[in-house]
Structure 1
């Protein structure tokens, strides 16, 4: 079972210098990547970095509201409501209610498709994390255990910690709060 601790991730400046991001995962792990999952801190209005040839899914995960302008059209983004747009688009933000944090899923168009869902956790029914998925604790209190027959002792998760999914002994998250489920699927070529 693999857990990525948010507290261990070093913050990096955005491509355009306008903010800070923490990269949770990428593929491949070195060099030019085909997909990336990150959490960004947005403390001032301004331009978003362009990601040509990529598709983005973004969701506010801390704070109330982000007004995202994409190719001239305004989109009011409330907490936990994912929004998909092209990384080729000119995009900028306004913060009418103050600073926010957002979760970003960016995938190379035509090679991968990224999905983002926000779910409420249950103390009674564990949520499995399958291969090709990341589960990120957004708020609340939760623990993860190995979902196999010989279940291991549950490990507490901190805010923004990520659990890497597996198709063998699926990790299972149990608790109260909200979790982001990120899925990255390869795009199958049609002949």
Structure 2
């Protein structure tokens, strides 16, 4: 059972000074065609999917990610006004929004600073999904392979399940993240924004009160 502790993640300032990003996890498909984007840019070819949490303190343009799709979810703050190719979308807390990384996008902060969850996937290779669920103390929520469970609010513990899921329910995603999660064996307490790495063998199970983001990264095998 693996946990990625939010407190250990390094903050990377944006080039425009509008915020910072902490990468939770990333990976790639070894069989995917190499990107032509130069290394070290915002569209780093070293990953085909990335999950990150950003703190946004200033209105301004978002980085473009050509050939990728994005799912953005506001975690803290009341409202983000996201402009995508000239169309404004008011994004409220815990409401995931999907848009193209090719789009000309920018954000405004009418009610102050926000924190958001970003899921970015290379189009045609992976597809990302974000679901917000309410936790229960009586019924554990499993996290399967190809998923991350991120505690957004409240109190929760995670323990290893007693059995795996049915075969083929969720494929593994690429390679492990550059950020090495800490391995644990016994049920432990999660802090806010800690991420549980899913597995189909003794799938981690989360119990508690509050809200959990379940991020799924699905491989697009057989699709153009």
- With the shorter chain as reference, the TM-score category is over 0.9
Identify the residue that residue 22 of structure 1 maps to in structure 2.
Answer: 22
Distance 2:74 2:111 in 1: 12
Distance 1:35 1:8 in 2: 20
Tell me which of the two structures has the higher relative contact order, counting C-alpha pairs closer than 8 angstroms and 6 or more residues apart.
2
TM-score, normalised to structure 2, is 0.81
Identify the residue that residue 175 of structure 1 maps to in structure 2.
Answer: 208
Identify the residue that residue 184 of structure 1 maps to in structure 2.
Answer: 217
Task: Please tell me whether the aligned partners of residues 47 and 91 of structure 1 are also in contact (alpha carbons under 8 angstroms).
Answer: yes
Distance 1:119 1:128 in 2: 12
Distance 1:182 1:16 in 2: 27
How far residue 17 of structure 1 moved from its aligned partner, in angstroms, is: 4.5
Distance 1:52 1:91 in 2: 12
How far residue 14 of structure 1 moved from its aligned partner, in angstroms, is: 2.7
**Cα deviation code 1:30-77 (max 9, x no counterpart):** 961000000000001110111111000000001110000000000000
Give ranges in structure 1 of 5+ residues lacking alignment: none
Distance 1:153 1:89 in 2: 44
Aligned equivalent of 1:165, options 194, 198, 210 = 198
Query: Counting strand residues as a fraction of each chain, which structure ranks higher?
Result: 1
Identify the residue that residue 12 of structure 1 maps to in structure 2.
Answer: 12
Task: Please tell me whether the aligned partners of residues 124 and 223 of structure 2 are also in contact (alpha carbons under 8 angstroms).
Answer: no
RMSD: 1.7
Give ranges in structure 2 of 5+ residues lacking alignment: 30-43, 164-184
TM-score, normalised to structure 1, is 0.94
Q: How many residues align?
A: 189
Task: Please tell me whether the aligned partners of residues 18 and 46 of structure 1 are also in contact (alpha carbons under 8 angstroms).
Answer: yes
